[in-house]
Each structure stands twice: as structure tokens, then as C-alpha cells.
Chains A and B, each alone.
Chain A
Amino acid sequence: FVTMPLKDLFSRGKKDKAAPAGGAPAAAASKPSAADPIMALFERYKEPEEDRIGPEGVLSLCSDMKIEATDVKVLILAWQLNAQTQGYFTRNEWKQGLTDLRADSPAVMLGRLDAQERQLRENTRSSAFKDFYRFAFRFSRSPGQKALEIETVKALLPIVFVASHAHLAKLLSFLDASPSVRGFTEDQWNSFLVFSHEIAEDFSNFDPEGAWPSILDDFVTHCQQ
């Protein structure tokens, strides 16, 4: 069972969706009317059989927000909601998260998420980014797995970072050239963030005797050849 790259994640289960771009709330009549616009949104997107928003709902939401399903804002949303399961948002997660976000419609959500995205991009050294980055790892894991498959890693890194982020391109090519690396542990993932902030372009301040996970030692050796 192979974990899918993130972009496939949200396109799983392409059943026919009823969500038009920003249309009327769907099938709200048979549900108790939510006084709360946030919960109204929830009702709009949630799975018919379950009390949570599923992949189709998310897709629907994306198109209402006029963003692609692969947009990093989706991940940011998941982070804001502290979603525990990929592809699903529970009622509580939704309620709490959107309340914190102070958003009650797709348009507002879009605005907030946009702002968030900009902030995160601007300062990757902030504690917010750190939190987001670490969340991304845990969120992207297959259930029951401790490590993240390397294909997912390679797909996820360019999403959380801008392309020009320090060492990113080199790391990706290193991973391509190292078939023996099958995945990343959480420790390795987290360490890369620190590495990218602390280590110079030419690795001049890199100490191989230091506490870096050995995969980063190998990475530096590879680049220096």
C-alpha cells in the first residue's frame, strides 16, 4: 500500500461532486439549520454518511475558494484546523479552527489563508513556520507509519518551502541520486529545517562531528564531491 503524493491525495475518490463554484448551500434542508455560518459551511461540505468533511468536500471547498487542490493553502488550512487525518476534517476541528481563523465563508477563508501563506513564506525562522513545517510531516504520514515515504518527502518539501529555500534543490537532487534512502524519520525532517537556516551555502560551517542526523552528513559529502 503506497502512500500517495500529496497532490493525488485530494483527488482521491472522484465521485461526482455536486459543488458548483460558490453556490447555494447543498442539502441543508434535511439538516437542522446551523445558526452559525461556520457550521453552515460544515454542513455544506460534509460527507453524507459521516459527521465529517471528506475528500470530496475538500475539493468542493477548494473550488469555492478558487484554488487548486494542490495549493499549499489547503495544507495551511489543515494546520490551522489541526486536522488529525489526511483528507478529513471533523466537526470539532472545523468549528475550532475556523473560529480561530475568524472566517465564515470561502472568500474570507481564502483571504485569511492567503495572509497566512505570505507570513509563512516571509519568515521561515518563525515559530509559526516551525510548527507548520512539523505538522506537515505528521499530517502527511500514512496511518500507522512513523516515517514518511521518500516520494512524499520529495513532493512535500517544495510545497512547504519556496523553490529558492536554502539547500532545497540540492537536497532534492541528492535524494534522487540516493536510491537507498527510503524515507525520512521525523527527526531527519525536523533537522533539515534547522540545517537550512544554519548551514552556509558552501557548507563551510558544517561540522561532520556534530549532532546532525547522518543523512545530512551524507548529503554534505555528496555535494562536496
Chain B
Amino acid sequence: MSISSSRSDSEHRAKRLKTSHSGATGEQDTAMETGLGGARGGSMRNMGSNKAPAKKLTISLKKEKPKLPEMFEEDTWQKLQQSVRAVHNEEKIGQSYEELYKAVEDLCIHKLGQNLYVKLQAECEEHIKKEIASLVAQTADAVLFLEVVEQCWQTHTKQMSLIRSIFLYLDRTYVIQSCNVCSLWAMGLQLFRKHLDLAPEVINKCIQGILSLIHKERIGDMVNRTLLRSLLRMLSALQLYPQFEAHFLDATDGFYREEGNAKIQELDVPTYLVYVERRLEEEGERVGHYLELQTRKPLVGRLDEQLLEVHMAAIIDRGLEPLMADNRVKDLQRMYSLLGRVNALQPVRTAFTAYVKRAGVEMVTNEEREKEMVQDLLDFKAKLDYLLEEAFDANEELSHSLKDAFEFLINVRQNKPAEHIAKFVDVQLRSGGKGVSEQELETVLDRVLTLFRYIQGKDVFEAFFKKDLAKRLLLNKSASVDAEKSMISKLKQECGSSFTNKLEGMFKDMELSRDIMNFYQDSSTKKGIGASSDIAVHVLTTGYWPAYPPAPLKLPKELLEHQESFEKFYLSKHHGRRLTWQNSLAHCSIKATFRPGSQGRKELLVSLYQAAILLLFNNSDVMTFEEVATAVGMEDKELRVTLQSLACSKTKILSKNPKGRDVEDGDVFTFNGKFDSKQLRIKVNSIQLKETQEENEKTTESVFQDRQYQVDAAVVRVMKARKTLSHTLLISELFKQLKFPVTPADLKKRIESLIDREYLERDKDTPSVYNYLA
């Protein structure tokens, strides 16, 4: 009797012990191997437990090799085949798994593995062929068909799995040891695939069915995701997935082309973008739910193409401007990130620039909103900066576009922006404005400077700023010296010290004037003057300050005394200098008594012109226009304006007869004894602060004049250095040297003027060349 035991392969060569108890001497033992060297020859080792006296035992092997029973293979295969069929038929298997395993093992050991494999393969093929054939005739309903297919596949996998575990030994030995033989599992797949290929309509139906389910899900219905997943895994296992994928991507293209076209017409841009975002998310999820991971990239690529790339122009044209105009940050963020996927930065940039330019140019050229121009531009820039930061992720290229656009729009109109910026700064620096904190003021000035940076004709700004600064300093209207100094240093950083030298000079003059006044007060020259009035003088260095037109005036005697005294004092200290009194800039504080008693005494803050006129009324209560005119010797227009401020405005210190706004020849002025006011100190000189249209035009004119001189000087300078130069080279040299905007036509006119004045000549032989004339 042989005891069979399931020994593992590694114990394969263990020697079987024979003991005298078993009485197995002489019996054949199939497990005996030649490896047991000790058994040959016949001597047996005496094992320790053997208590019998040592007999010599001789074991002689029979000469014949043990033979397999004749029908061994057949029988064994029979058993196995039955089991396989049982599996295929979903019946209970007759034998035990151990038995079956052993059978396989037996066959393999006896080198019958190959036969076994082949037989098994044939068996499986039969079955699979049948199964697939059954699929062919199936229902037309897509979903049902898919379910059937899935069922078939599940069955197949389950069965193959079972078969594989029965034939495990085969899989682990024969299969591994032989090349060109695939594993049982793979074999099953191969067979499945082979027969599917013979029935291509099954594959097609399957794929189409899957696509129709996906389509259904896309339009919003619920579908059986597990089914899809399972089928797609099947296709993957059968290496049919690429075929599916190709169809799937085409279907995706078609679907989104259509839907994209419809949606872009129907929805407004922000809503469309939300839709796109949603679809992208959904498709991403689809990959997670049932598609293979490798499909994610091409799938997303198709969506990008059909939904974004195709409609890029429409999205930008219709969407960018309105969203920017309305500050819709979230929508812009979405647009930016979606368009970023399809590399749309260039078109976005173009549209962005166009919008900024258009809106900006409108602000700059709108004559009705001129006063608000600077504030509008500041607000606009701030808004764009914010959008750039928040919605466009501080994209550098867009930032450059913004800068270029502003440089363009602010120079579209030659001088007004510069003028208005200077005025804006003046308002900020003047006292009596809104009470802003130091910090806020700094921020505002910085933002204004950013705008200033874009201006090409900076000399216009300089002229207006200087004029306003002079007024602020002389009329004591600066809100804070620190703020003024801060502005100057900002300008210095921006434009270099040559720009700000004169401005700094103005400040220095103010300080020096204070010092001079101190000396003057102590001086003997001063002591000689009567104490009924006093004088404070600012000495201005010509060249630092704006040029003021001469302003004739016959000073009242009292003031003349002071003026002459100071002049004497000053010239004694500074020989060789010449003082020119600027009457238009001076202001006075006058004590006036309208009625007896303390109520009737007022202090009036007036301009010098106003003072000169008022003091006349100390001698007479009534004067005609002509009398006043003769007495003060003022320029006619100035006189009328000044009289208007005294007699026709809110504070009527004089009354005019006939009444009316304008001062005409023959009007009669009377001291207004009835004048009253709640205040003790009354400012009447606010006209000095105001700018007239004329003044502004004059300032602009002077800038242009100055530019002409600069051009002339530059031409002469260049020609002197080069002696001979062609027209084009001269023009390009000039453009390099001149810092303000100028056209070639302007330059030509100056060149012609210089030819006429014989600074240079046109070459006799080559008219497009100029020669310097020493």
C-alpha cells in the first residue's frame, strides 16, 4: 500500500525511509530516485532506531523502469476534461480540487504538459467559440446587448479563473519553462479575442453601444456606470481599447462641436465659460468613473479644442471688454485660466490693449469731463492694476501691454493731460483741501507720478507745476512743507536733478528771504521808517521762478517808502544785483474801519492791486473809474477785474453805480460804509489764486516757445560738431537729443529758419546735405 501524500515540489527528492516495520522490502517504490545514491549497491545504513541486529540487506533495482499505466494520459485527461466541461457548463465539478490538481501535476511530471496544454486550449476554444457565436445573434437593443456581452465576459473570466486554479501546476511549470506559450489566463483572452475578431459586428455593436450610453450621460441622463466600467476593462484586457478610444474621441469631437456652437450663440460669455468649466469637470470625472486613465489627456484636449480654441475669438471679442468694464473678477479669472489652456495669450493681449486704449483715449479727449480727467485716469489705472493682479494672475506680458497702452493714450492729446496733472497735484498740495492723512497723500502722489511717467511732453507739466508752486509758496498756500518736499524728491527720482534744480531753488529762495527779512528788521535802514505799516519781502532769483509779465502800478506813498527802504538795504548787501518788484504777486493785510466801535473794524486780506485801490478811498469816499485809473496806473484789464472783485462779488467793500457785473467806463465807486461780515478777518484776494484761461494758454505758449529755442540750440550744436550732415541723419540726431515730442515737419521749419539766419546752409551740390556756417 502506498501512502500518497501531497508533497510540495521542494520535497520532491526527499528520500523515503524504509523501516523494517513496513516490510516494504522488495516492493517497488515509484518515488525512489536515482538521486538516492546510498540505495544503490545494496548496503543500507543502519538507522539509529533499528534495534534488530544489523542484517545486510540488499536492494536491487529492477531493471525495468517503472512504466505508466497505458491509459494514464487518457484517463487523467478524461477526468480533467470533465471538470473543465463542468466549469464551462456551470455545473458542479465531480472531483475534488486536490484530485484535479494532482492529476495535472502527474501529467506535468511525466512530461505530458504540452499535450495537456494543447488539449486544454482546444477545449476552451470550443467553448468560447460557442459563447461568442451566441452573442452574434443577440438583441438589437443597445443596452441589453451590452448587458449580455458583459455577462458573457464575466462568465468567461470567472470560468477561466477557476480553470486556471485547477491547472495551476501547468501554469507554473510548463508554461513558464516554455517560450512562446502564454499563460492560461492570457490564452483565454487570446481565444476570446480571436473569436471576437471573427465576429466584428459584435465588437462594433459593443463599441457603439458604449458610445450611445456615454452620449446619454452627456445629455444628462443616468446610465449604468458599473456596466460601462466593466465593459471598458474588458476591451482593455482584449486590447480593443485603442479601437474604442479612437471612436470615442471622434464622438466627443462631434458632440462638443455641436454643443459648443449652440452654446456660444445662446449664452453670454461668462455663462458660456461656466458651462465650459462644468463640462471639463464632468469629462474628468468620466475618466475616473469608467474610462482608462490614458484617455484623460486626449479627451481634455478635444474639449479644449472644440469649446475654447474654436470659439476663442468670439469669447475674447464679446467677453473681455464688458467683463473688464464691470470689474467681474471671478469671471475674468475663469476666462484667463480657460484661455490659458489653449494658448490664447496673444489675442487676449491684443483685445486688452485695444480696450485700455479706447477707454483711455475717450477719457483724455472728452472735453466735457476735462476737470475730472486726472481722477478718471487714476481710477481707471487703479482698476486695471487690480484686475491685472486678481484676474490675470499678474501676467507680465499683460502688464507690459498696459504700460504701452497708457503711454499711447495719454499722449494722444498733446498738452492737456500734463496741464491737468499739474493742476491736480496743486490741489492736493494746497491747504484748505480735503483733510487727507499723510499716508493717503503719499499714495495719491505716487499714483499721479505713475501717470506722469507716461507723458512725453514733460516740460509742459514742469511749466504748470512751477507756476502753481510759486503761487503756493508766495501766497502761503502750501498744506505742508513735507508734502512739497516729498513731491520734489519724487520728481527728482523720476526725471533727474536737472528737472528739479529750479524747483529746489525756489524753496531756497524762500528760506533766504526769511533770513534777509530778519537782518532787515534789525537794520538801521528799517528803523527810519514809520511804524504804521510793515513789509515782508520775498526775494526771488530770476530763472528759478516762472517769468511774470510786467505789472505797472502806482504804489501808495506808505508802501513806496517801505519798498525803497528795503531796496536800499538789499542792494547795500548785494551790489550789482537788480531788483524788479512783482506787483501781481504781492498781497496785503489792511485794517479797515467801516463803522465806529470794535464791530466795525475788520482786517482785510487783499492783493496789492486791491490795496492800492482801497487806500485811495482814504482821501475820498467816491471816485469814478477814470479817477481810479489815473491814480493807480494799472493795466486796463487788470484794473477792471480788480474793481470787480471789490465791488461786484460777495464781499462788497465798494459799491458800484450803476450796479452790474462788469466794470464799464464811467462807473462810480463808493466806499461801502455799510459793509459787514461775521468774520473779523476777511479774505478778498482769492482771485490771485485763480487761474484764468488766458494764463494757461500763455503758459502752454511759453513751453512751445522754449521748445523752439531748444530745437534751434540742438541743431546748431549738432551741426557745429559734425560740420556737414545729411538731412535724415540730422533729424535722427535731433530726435535722440530732444526730450519732448516733436515732428520732423517741426524740425524742418526750424532748420529753414536757421538757414535763413545763416547758421547753416544747404550744400550747393547736394541739397539734402547741410553745412555748418561758422
Contacts and interface: CB of A to CB of B under 8 A. Distances in A.
B752 A214 contact: yes
Interface in B726-774: 726-728, 731, 744-745, 748-749, 752, 755-756, 762, 767-770
Contacts of B767: 190-191, 194, 211
A190 B762 contact: yes
B749 A214 contact: yes
A170 interface: no
Given A191-B762, A191-B767, A214-B749, A209 B756 contact: no
Contacts of B731: 209
Nearest to B770: A211
B727 A211 contact: yes
A187 B744 contact: no
A186 B761 CA distance: 11
B744 A185 contact: no
A217 B762 contact: no
Nearest to A191: B767
Nearest to A134: B764
- Chain B interface: which size bin? 10 to 19
B768 A185 contact: no
Contacts of A188: 752
A217 B755 CA distance: 17
A114 B490 CA distance: 76
B259 to A, nearest CB: 56
A146 interface: yes
A190 B727 CA distance: 17
Interface in A170-225: 185-188, 190-191, 194, 209-211, 213-214, 217
Interface residues of A, number: 15
B113 to A, nearest CB: 95
A190 B761 CA distance: 12
Contact of A187 (B726, B749, B755, B768): B755
Contacts, number: 38
Given A187-B762, A190-B762, A191-B762, A213 B745 contact: no
Interface in A99-155: 146-147
A151 B602 CA distance: 68
A185 B762 contact: no
Nearest to B767: A194
Contacts of A209: 728, 731, 744
A182 to B, nearest CB: 13
B752 A187 contact: yes
A213 B756 contact: no
A209 B745 CA distance: 8
B727 A187 contact: no
Nearest to B753: A185
A147 B755 CA distance: 12
B96 to A, nearest CB: 106
A210 B768 contact: yes
A191 B727 CA distance: 14
A124 to B, nearest CB: 16
Contacts of A185: 752, 755-756
A176 to B, nearest CB: 22
Contacts of A214: 745, 748-749, 752
A139 B762 CA distance: 20
Given A187-B762, A190-B762, A191-B762, A213 B752 contact: yes
A217 B745 contact: yes
Contacts of A187: 752, 755-756, 762
Contacts of B752: 185, 187-188, 213-214
Contacts of A213: 748, 752
Contacts of B726: 211
A214 B727 CA distance: 13
B726 to A, nearest CB: 8
Nearest to B747: A214
A94 to B, nearest CB: 29
Report which residue of B749, B767, B769 has the largest number of chain A beta carbons within 10 angstroms of its beta carbon: B767
Nearest to A211: B727
Interface in B403-424: none
A217 B745 CA distance: 9
Contacts of B755: 185, 187
14 contacts: A146-B756, A186-B756, A187-B752, A187-B756, A190-B762, A190-B767, A209-B731, A209-B744, A210-B768, A211-B727, A211-B728, A213-B748, A214-B745, A214-B752
Given A185-B755, A211-B762, 19 more contacts: A146-B756, A147-B756, A185-B752, A187-B752, A187-B756, A187-B762, A188-B752, A190-B767, A191-B762, A209-B728, A210-B727, A211-B726, A211-B727, A211-B728, A211-B748, A211-B769, A211-B770, A214-B745, A214-B749
Interface of B: 726-728, 731, 744-745, 748-749, 752, 755-756, 762, 767-770
Closest 10 CB pairs of A and B: A211-B727, A211-B768, A187-B755, A185-B756, A214-B748, A194-B767, A213-B752, A214-B749, A209-B744, A187-B762
